[in-house]
């Protein structure tokens, strides 16, 4: 049990260390933010598993605020990275992040080819409160912010990610193209 307690505290400390300053966040590019988001998700998965084991072995841990503190920090971090990722996605290609408008030459922006990274797998969402921040952040980034997808396609992606109570909630919704 002592090992699980120390591991839980270490994961919370690791999460806190992954919170960049505003300046550091603004200096990150798309790739670094994406990797940081993946790292946050891995830390969260490890913490949830460790904390659940700890709470099973020592029910007094249910009264501790570790889970609440972790969730609050995780949500703040994930939201900051996701917001910054969205800003980076919508910036014109340039060697600097925010050049003044008068210095921007007239250019035609050509869409960059998709990266050769493996396709991202969207997480499943069954309706559990603890799954929501991870699911929402990833779904927003990968699906909802993709301007090439129609609302119908976005809904189909959403439906494919849901399971259990969350899927039951939208099961009766009809899918019709907008006329």
pLDDT tens profile 48-91 = 888 888 888 888 888 788 888 888 888 888 888 888 877 765 55
Residue 103 lies in a domain: no
Residue 115 lies in a domain: no
Cα–Cα distance list, 92 to 28, 70, 101, 173 (Å): 15, 35, 11, 38
Q: Say whether both 154 and 79 belong to one domain.
A: no
Question: Would you give the distance in Å from CA 34 to the centre of its chain?
Answer: 9
Predicted TM-score (pTM) of the model is 0.48
Number of domains in the chain: 2
Residue 119 lies in a domain: no
Alpha carbon distance 81, 40 (integer Å): 10
Q: Say whether both 86 and 142 belong to one domain.
A: no
Residue 108 has pLDDT above 70, yes or no: no
Q: What is the mean pLDDT of residues 117-144?
A: 84
Residue 99 has pLDDT above 60, yes or no: no
Q: Say whether both 23 and 73 belong to one domain.
A: yes
CB-based contacts of 129, cutoff 8 Å, min separation 6: none
Q: Is 30 buried (19+), middle (13-18) or exposed (0-12) by CB count in 10 A? A: middle
Q: Say whether both 82 and 134 belong to one domain.
A: no
More confident residue, 162 or 98: 162
What per-residue confidence (pLDDT) applies to 33? Answer: 84
Please give the backbone phi and psi of residue 162, each rounded to the nearest 5 degrees, phi first: -90, 150
Residue 85 structural domain: 1-90
What per-residue confidence (pLDDT) applies to 109? Answer: 47
What per-residue confidence (pLDDT) applies to 86? Answer: 79
Q: pLDDT tens for residues 8-35?
A: 888 888 888 878 887 888 888 888 888 8
Alpha carbon distance 80, 25 (integer Å): 8
């Amino acid at each position: 049990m002592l090992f699980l307690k120390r591991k839980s505290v270490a994961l919370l400390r690791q999460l806190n260390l992954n919170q960049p300053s505003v300046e550091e966040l603004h200096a990150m590019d798309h790739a670094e933010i994406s990797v940081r988001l993946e790292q946050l998700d891995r830390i969260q998965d490890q913490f949830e598993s460790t904390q659940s084991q700890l709470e099973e072995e020592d029910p007094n841990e249910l009264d501790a605020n570790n889970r609440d503190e972790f969730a609050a920090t995780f949500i703040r971090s994930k939201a900051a990275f996701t917001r910054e990722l969205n800003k980076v996605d919508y910036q014109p290609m340039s060697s600097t992040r925010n050049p003044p408008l008068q210095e921007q030459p007239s250019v035609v922006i050509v869409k960059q080819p998709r990266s050769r990274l493996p396709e991202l797998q969207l997480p499943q969402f069954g309706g559990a409160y603890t799954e929501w921040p991870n699911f929402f952040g990833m779904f927003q980034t990968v699906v909802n912010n993709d301007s090439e997808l129609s609302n119908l396609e976005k809904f189909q992606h959403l439906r494919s990610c849901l399971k259990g109570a969350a899927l039951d909630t939208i099961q009766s919704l009809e899918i019709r193209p907008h006329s």
